[in-house]
């Protein structure tokens, strides 16, 4: 390390360092509360209490309540991979099955702030970064492979089609009030990610009576 070490860096090391476990505890508590009671009921004091942390430790890390929430819902490093199974149907099924088994806590938390994306740009960014972008990116790869293989026609609107599953999963959660399951993932695959002629036999379950909106 250079002897001309930056004074700011040296200074940054002075004093007791922040406990990184608190970051985790706060993020976890925020996601729990968001998922359990919604954004409107979320208070800083309850986050602090749930995390077993003082309010000052929150405000040392984030400037306000909104920033805490944004960090919590944006922390989504895991993204399902898009393995090449050889067919569109296989790829999509693998991918969406993994997705619906995804951490439902994070899914609910980010759904709880969806409405705020309308009025606050930062929520929009967090929503995209935590929810739609990682989901869509994988689907896009799968769909492009399918177009190359000829399973889908060249004119297929890949961008639109790849946005359907996250939109349906969100709507399913908001409208039906329960977490999308593997059966729902399969239903999506059957309808939208199966090349024509490969449609399976009609679902024995009467779709009109399903809980779909």
Chosen from a second copy, DNA, none, partner binding at 150 (C-beta under 5 to 8 Å by type): none
Give the number of residues written for the chain. Answer: 213
Instruction: Say whether residue 112 binds a second copy (CB under 8 A).
Output: yes
C-beta of 94: minimal distance to DNA in Å? 40
Contact positions vs DNA (CB under 7 A) = 1, 10-11, 13-19, 22, 42-46, 52-57, 59-61, 63-66
C-beta of 87: minimal distance to a second copy in Å? 19
How many residues bind to a second copy according to rule CB under 8 A?
61
C-beta of 132: minimal distance to a second copy in Å? 4
Tokens of 131: 């929810």
Chosen from DNA, a second copy, none, partner binding at 3 (C-beta under 5 to 8 Å by type): none
Instruction: Say whether residue 195 binds a second copy (CB under 8 A).
Output: no
DSSP string, 35-77: HHH-STT--HHHHHHHHT--HHHHHHH-SSHHHHHHHHHH---
User: What is the rounded distance in angstroms from the CA atom of residue 188 to the CA atom of residue 182?
Assistant: 10
Instruction: Say whether residue 116 binds a second copy (CB under 8 A).
Output: yes
Tokens of 22: 């608190």
Chosen from a second copy, DNA, none, partner binding at 119 (C-beta under 5 to 8 Å by type): a second copy
User: What is the rounded distance in angstroms from the CA atom of residue 34 to the CA atom of residue 206?
Assistant: 34
Tokens of 29: 């508590």
Smallest Cα–Cα separation from 91: which of 139, 135, 161? 139
Instruction: Say whether residue 175 binds a second copy (CB under 8 A).
Output: yes
Map the footprint of a second copy across residues 22-51, applying CB under 8 A: 35-41
């Amino acid at each position: 390390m250079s002897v001309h070490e930056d004074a700011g860096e040296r200074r940054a090391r002075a004093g007791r360092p922040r406990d990184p476990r608190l970051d985790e505890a706060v993020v976890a508590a925020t996601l729990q509360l968001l998922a359990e009671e919604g954004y409107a009921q979320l208070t800083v004091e309850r986050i602090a209490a749930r995390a077993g942390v003082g309010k000052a430790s929150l405000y040392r890390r984030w400037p306000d309540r909104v920033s805490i929430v944004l960090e919590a819902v944006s922390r989504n490093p895991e993204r399902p991979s898009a393995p090449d199974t050889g067919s569109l149907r296989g790829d999509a099924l693998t991918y969406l099955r993994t997705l619906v088994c995804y951490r439902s806590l994070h899914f609910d938390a980010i759904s709880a702030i969806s409405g705020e994306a309308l009025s606050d740009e930062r929520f929009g960014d967090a929503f995209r970064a935590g929810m739609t972008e990682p989901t869509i990116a994988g689907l896009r790869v799968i769909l492009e492979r399918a177009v190359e293989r000829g399973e889908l026609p060249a004119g297929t609107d890949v961008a639109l089609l790849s946005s359907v599953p996250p939109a349906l999963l969100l709507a399913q959660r908001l409208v039906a009030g329960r977490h999308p399951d593997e059966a729902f993932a399969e239903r999506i695959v059957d309808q939208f990610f199966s090349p024509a002629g490969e449609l399976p036999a009609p679902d024995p379950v009467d779709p009109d009576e399903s809980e779909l909106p």
